Structure 1
């Protein structure tokens, strides 16, 4: 698949003018954006899942530039969407407003969330802070703690609330994952501060930053569009959080780490994540679909993530967004995924 700066930029930024036009003027523009990130993307991924590419992958500086562009665009789109859906534009209950809500919400839950998940692992404080800010803007600040300090440490074990169990439906998983994420974030930050002389109320406490950032965003929504803006913002955040949680459900479903002779979990490897080779959704989600490589090299440039061949790693039968949609209906999920899981284990 193409891995250049231009390829990632075109695929991720293409629907934004349509979404902004829809927020300001309504009409068919948001429907075109929604069709692109759903029907067009799923269709191309299904019929042309792989695309060869011989050029060099984008360097870290180029990847960082796009990450920063997407973060800035995220905030602008979020505020304009809140204003528009709260009554400044078409409104939430119009046809164009429904398309805007879904299209912008998919951008927040798939592009912005993928950007944040990559940035919170970075060594550079300013890039890590940018990832934290993205999560906070979607009322999910605790993920900046859970992602690097819980999920990447305990993935595939009972200690990771983001790992879904075999036979567990999405609707059984959701409350466990959401509440477990909050609990483990609080536990980790409490442990991290135990060795510090600073009081718990010091501003360096990430939990205070998450809470303060959430209050700031809620006030911003209120100032931008009044009480209606507050409602719209909460609904957009809930939609984005649902997508993040479904992605967690799909990408580790039923994959567990065995215990070694000493009773310790084996090290995380490429067999503990479901991957998807589909090139267009990979560009759209900043290679989050190449999930094994994300766990192996979380701080590396997302543009350079490797995609091991089918058979070497667990590989989803369809693209990640399509599998996320299937997960919403547990009987269909079981019909599609459980035989696939068994086949992988047999192989």
Structure 2
């Protein structure tokens, strides 16, 4: 049964985050500090996870931790927005105090400094991303109506339900080409990338759904036929709920939370395919994604870090993904790359040798030719193809 336990690392992280946030004050930073310390330590000091997927007989036990994420996120975010307000919406605080012996009123009273709330934002925003988006990503790749329902509601915690459309039917088709807004380009900083990716991914999702439904004689604005519109209504619902729970402060706080959670996703998008190229129309191969077999990134994030296999077989459940040790590798685990990407000079310094290695060892002849042109236009220094061309 131990092989079924790693799926519960994410729900356990959610519960620990609720415990930290429920104390209020500077404890709001505790979840972020915990994740930073434990996650980075696991990636840095534990051996890389090169294990091949064991034989599983019970898919329900592997799916169950995925399904628990939605109610956990709902409770976590409800609690946070409740703490932003001043009343006791639905008697939530009194119920928690009576049944769980946790004094949320005192926690709210001791949260008096903007820096405390900043800790709450980065902590809960991270949970909405690694819990909501990572799990929602897994579920929206499936065809089950229940899985799609759960997955898209999880994506609503970052106000990004269109991701379930664009990622599956757009990104997986266009990855590593100029047509894909979620592929970071050589020389492009995260701050430029996130604007382009956020806007154009949403536009692409709309275009994909409009074209699909037009073939069926239906409108993209029909909520009974259009997952795109239903997703937008789910996003709006979250804002309305925040307003009813805590008024305008709750509404504003939720907007910030959703924005921060979305940025965590975009940073991940940024480094997962940064600088990689593919000839449009050619099959997507494991070499078109940066892989990571760091222990924490693999086991906490439902094997998302085994990204090369994921793109080679997008519909494969997380517990079947292989390590692909010969795929192109990130220089650090996912949380490490997330922090590094926020510092463009450092990110480029680490990714330049990785790109040189990819051009030399992984690119096809046609891709190497494309990479040479793109490298020259990027303005990045240190790329061997640029130097060879100029010589």
TM-score of the two chains, using structure 2 as the length reference: 0.80
2:134 to 114, 121, 124: 114
**Mean Cα deviation higher: 150-159 or 41-50:** 41-50
2:125 to 94, 102, 105: 105
2:293 to 277, 289, 292: 277
Name stretches of at least 5 consecutive residues in structure 1 with no aligned partner. 259-263
1:299 to 297, 301, 315: 315
For the residues of structure 2 that align with 1:273 and 1:201, how far apart are their CA atoms? 34
Equivalent residues in 2 for 1:155-166 (5 A)?
155-166=175-186
Q: Which residue of 1 aligns with 2:44?
A: 46
Q: Which residue of 2 aligns with 1:315?
A: 329
Structure 2 SS opposite 1:107: helix
For the residues of structure 2 that align with 1:17 and 1:92, how far apart are their CA atoms? 24
Output one character per residue of 1:52-81: Cα deviation in whole Å (capped at 9) or x when no partner.
768836543222111101122111112112
Deviation at 1:225?
1.2
Q: Which residue of 2 aligns with 1:226?
A: 247
Q: Which residue of 1 aligns with 2:218?
A: 198
- RMSD, aligned α-carbons: 2.2
Name stretches of at least 5 consecutive residues in structure 2 with no aligned partner. 87-104, 362-391
Change (3 A) 1:25 1:93: same
Q: Alignment length, in residue pairs?
A: 338
Change (3 A) 1:344 1:129: same
For the residues of structure 2 that align with 1:52 and 1:330, how far apart are their CA atoms? 30
Does the 8 Å contact 2:25/2:111 carry over to 1?
no
Q: Which residue of 2 aligns with 1:13?
A: 11
For the residues of structure 2 that align with 1:300 and 1:151, how far apart are their CA atoms? 16
For the residues of structure 1 that align with 2:69 and 2:336, how far apart are their CA atoms? 23
For the residues of structure 1 that align with 2:27 and 2:18, how far apart are their CA atoms? 9
- Does 1:4 pair with 2:3? yes
Q: Which residue of 2 aligns with 1:177?
A: 197
1:341 to 341, 355, 380: 355
For the residues of structure 2 that align with 1:14 and 1:172, how far apart are their CA atoms? 34
Deviation at 1:179?
1.0
- Does 1:211 pair with 2:209? no
Does the 8 Å contact 2:6/2:300 carry over to 1?
no
Deviation at 1:46?
0.9
Q: Which residue of 2 aligns with 1:62?
A: 61
**Mean Cα deviation higher: 214-223 or 289-298:** 289-298
Does the 8 Å contact 2:20/2:31 carry over to 1?
no
Change (3 A) 1:133 1:92: farther
TM-score of the two chains, using structure 1 as the length reference: 0.90
**Mean Cα deviation higher: 91-100 or 40-49:** 91-100
